[in-house]
Chain A
Amino acid sequence: MNFFKYILIILFFFFSSISISSEKNINLELKIFKNLRCLICQGQSIYDSQSDFAESMKLVVRQKLELGMSENEIYSFLEDQYGEWILYDPKFNNKTYFLWILPFLMFLFGALLILRKLGVFKK
């Protein structure tokens, strides 16, 4: 009896892992949808929107995925077409140095203030 139980459990894990791997594609698709801005909407991703633009973008993404393009390839393809405005995840380039670095500088600055308050610099 116990033996069958283990077999069942193993089979369960086996099948569930298979179903997960086939789901991965769909999850990737949704992830990409969420990272693209619907250009004609007010602050929505194409995942959130039902507009014609969003629907056609979804088709484009699906096609590109079927062609075997990777996530990043799709992003750069769309960036060429529509500009950086479409990407919710801003790139690290000369336009966005400050955007990415400033928060860290603030954090370091805060660390200095705290160390001063703890008296680390006065020994």
Chain B
Amino acid sequence: MILNYIGSYSLLFSLLISAIIFLISIFSIQNKKESIRNLNKLFFFQFFLVLISFLSLIILFVISEFSNTTVFNNSHTNKPLLYKISGTWGNHEGSLILWLMILTFFVFIYFLKSNTRPIRERLFTIVFQEIIIIGFSIFLLKTSNPFNQVIPTPDQGLGLNPILQDPILAIHPPVLYLGYVSTSLIFSSALASLICLNVNREWASFIKNWIFVSWIFLTLGILLGSIWAYYELGWGGFWFWDPVENISLMPWLCLTALLHCTLVLEKRSSLGSWTIILSIVSFTLSVCGTFLVRSGILNSVHTFANDPDRGVYILIFLFFLIFSSLIIYFLYQDKIISNKDHFNFLSKESSILINNWFVMYFLSVVLIGTIYPIFLEVLSNEKISVGPPFFNKLIIPFLIPFLIFMAIGPNLKWIKAKKFKIPIRLSILLFINLVIAFLVLKIFDEVTLKLTLLLTASFYLFFITFKDLIKKEYKNISQTISHFGFSLLILSIILNSFLSKEIITNLKVGDEINFQENIIKFKKIESSFSSNYQSLIGYFEINNKHLFTPEVRIYDQPEVITSEADIKTNLFKDRFLVINLVKDNDYLNVRYQEKPLMIWIWLSTILITIGGSLSFIKKYEK
């Protein structure tokens, strides 16, 4: 098939172009060139060739060309068109080519958008970026070429894991990758500005845009993954502290810290070297994400593609990146021109420091909790599990002061809050919130010290950010909306977690049970056939008005049984009903849950990203 060759060779040519760009950049740095405009064509072609290669792979998937190994392993003629397309990045090879395409796309955009930066810094950024691109290109061609051929051509493919055949999961990886990959530019630009002694206000306000891009896409990517897990994995949770989820959370936390600390660099010319460290760590964590997910080291529902050899390559590449960036950091970090003034305790910069302090603590909890079991197993052959209780125990107590600081911080001034008359008012408000939280918990008979304090802090943040939102007259709309969104998120999660109710039981057709104030009736069961699965649909009626039709799907290629929950959403709660087959029995396992404020968890996260996006609009208005 000709497309196999087109795809393969355009990758090779793009690698060639990357090498040329790399050499030209090095040459231009040595000769102190004044103009680098001629490079833009090369950047375009570098991207264009990877794009051609990626499109070839998509077409191969669409026409089900099973002479291609990737298509053979991950597709099937019976699959709907959407999932043939999304199957392209639902596997290791395809997802890497997507990764590479985004990488070349972003460096092209960077080149077009960085006119304001000094040429030397741009060239260094390009050098680092090309090293990353070349590294990934070689990785792709050597260990995971998507265009290998199967001889003789098989008649049928092996199919895509049915739980991945889902509209949200079709777009989840590309969105997440946009977030991951754009951290590479933050990394390259940070190192370049360090070498060029440009770690200053101008650089901070330039790199802030890229940090926002990364952070917004990562937030959306995590949100999509979470929504998918909620309705598809069939057990009604949305965050499981699963290693692969943690791995996407870590760069997000790091970027959140970075986002805040660049503000200090921009406004106060301080925390320069900390900004550089966070930039390096963000990218490292993003590559780690790819490495750990794709290498099969993690024991998780998400590791669909397992291949240790590839892990070794990424691991070596990762070590190379970390070591070289650390060397650059230690060579240049004392040259960072920084405002050496001490911070005043009651100032915005101090509160941002406190934000960074807590966020880095959360990051270290997640990091240690995720990788400690791996190290323990390698070193002592002992297997332990680190699950939700560990993370809850270490994170929740620290979340309480964090939320309170988050409420106060944005209301402080830079350098020094002149008159801090607020404490009395703030503490009265805090006390009122304590009473509200206690009463709310009392009504639901859930009073515990931890929960009361947590709810107090989140009510407090909620009311203060809400007040800021109304009162601030759009002065810092991006920040107020994001913070309000975050307070709403935390509040929804807490209320959701202790107000959720569920029942798990076995029912036959015609059975009826009472749960809380609900009567659940199992009316009938029907089966139906689709192109690539057979399904059993249960008909349930709750309180004689809500009809639920959860499904069990039996896919044939590959043979997998999945449960499709039926979820009825309104502003106050989700009703969630899912059925499962029970072996050798004529009854079904029925799980019914009421999950309050579920929709607000999604909406508030969207609000957070809207807040982030607004920072761009404001810039254009200026």
Q: Give the number of residues in B that approach A within 8 Å (Cβ atoms).
A: 48
In-complex Cβ contact of A90 among B298, B344, B380, B386 (8 A) = B386
Q: How far is the CA of A51 from the CA of B235 in the complex (A)?
A: 14
Asked if B360 and A110 make an inter-chain contact with CB atoms under 8 angstroms apart, the answer reads yes
Q: How far is the CA of A88 from the CA of B235 in the complex (A)?
A: 17
Q: How far is the CA of A37 from the CA of B240 in the complex (A)?
A: 12
In-complex Cβ contact of B445 among A17, A107, A117 (8 A) = A17
Closest to A48 in B: B235
Stretch from B349-357, B412-420, B528-536 contacting the other chain: B349-357
Q: Which residues of B contact A99 (CB under 8 A)?
A: 368-369, 372, 386, 390
Chain A positions 15-40 with a Cβ under 8 Å from a chain B Cβ: 16-17, 20, 30, 34-35, 37
- Measured CB to CB, the residues of A under 8 A from B are 16-17, 20, 30, 34-35, 37, 41-45, 47-48, 50, 52, 83-90, 95-96, 98-100, 102-103, 106-107, 110-111, 113-114, 117-119, 122
- If A86-B385, A88-B389, A90-B385 touch, whether A102 touches B368 (CB-CB below 8 Å) is yes
Q: Which residues of B contact A34 (CB under 8 A)?
A: 388
Asked if A30 and B299 make an inter-chain contact with CB atoms under 8 angstroms apart, the answer reads no
Any A CB within 8 A of the CB of B435: no
Closest approach, in angstroms, between the C-beta of A66 and any C-beta of chain B?
Answer: 17
Closest approach, in angstroms, between the C-beta of A71 and any C-beta of chain B?
Answer: 12
Asked if A43 and B445 make an inter-chain contact with CB atoms under 8 angstroms apart, the answer reads no
Q: How far is the CA of A88 from the CA of B389 in the complex (A)?
A: 7
Closest approach, in angstroms, between the C-beta of B297 and any C-beta of chain A?
Answer: 12
Asked if B385 and A87 make an inter-chain contact with CB atoms under 8 angstroms apart, the answer reads yes
Q: Which residues of A contact B365 (CB under 8 A)?
A: 103
Asked if A119 and B342 make an inter-chain contact with CB atoms under 8 angstroms apart, the answer reads yes
In-complex Cβ contact of A88 among B233, B385, B580, B583 (8 A) = B385
Asked if A43 and B300 make an inter-chain contact with CB atoms under 8 angstroms apart, the answer reads yes
Closest to A26 in B: B503
In-complex Cβ contact of B383 among A83, A96, A103 (8 A) = A83
Q: Which residues of A contact B237 (CB under 8 A)?
A: 48
Closest to B362 in A: A103
Chain B positions 223-267 with a Cβ under 8 Å from a chain A Cβ: 233, 235, 237, 240, 242-243
Q: Which residues of B contact A95 (CB under 8 A)?
A: 376, 380, 382, 384
In-complex Cβ contact of A103 among B343, B354, B368, B388 (8 A) = B368
Residue-by-residue, is B371-387 near A (CB-CB < 8 Å gives 1, otherwise 0)? 01000100010111111
Q: Which residues of B contact A44 (CB under 8 A)?
A: 301
Closest to A35 in B: B389
- If A48-B233, A48-B235, A103-B368 touch, whether A118 touches B345 (CB-CB below 8 Å) is yes
Q: How far is the CA of A122 from the CA of B343 in the complex (A)?
A: 12
Asked if A122 and B354 make an inter-chain contact with CB atoms under 8 angstroms apart, the answer reads no
Q: How far is the CA of A89 from the CA of B317 in the complex (A)?
A: 34
Asked if A84 and B301 make an inter-chain contact with CB atoms under 8 angstroms apart, the answer reads no
Closest to B377 in A: A85
Q: Which residues of B contact A103 (CB under 8 A)?
A: 361, 364-365, 368, 394
8 A-B residue pairs with CB within 8 Å: A30-B502, A88-B389, A89-B393, A90-B385, A90-B386, A99-B369, A107-B361, A113-B357
In-complex Cβ contact of A52 among B243, B299, B583 (8 A) = B583
Q: How far is the CA of A106 from the CA of B356 in the complex (A)?
A: 12
Asked if B343 and A88 make an inter-chain contact with CB atoms under 8 angstroms apart, the answer reads no
Closest approach, in angstroms, between the C-beta of B305 and any C-beta of chain A?
Answer: 13
Closest to A33 in B: B504
Q: Which residues of A contact B390 (CB under 8 A)?
A: 88-90, 99
Any A CB within 8 A of the CB of B303: yes
Asked if B387 and A88 make an inter-chain contact with CB atoms under 8 angstroms apart, the answer reads yes
Closest to B376 in A: A95
Q: How far is the CA of A119 from the CA of B299 in the complex (A)?
A: 45
Closest approach, in angstroms, between the C-beta of B572 and any C-beta of chain A?
Answer: 19
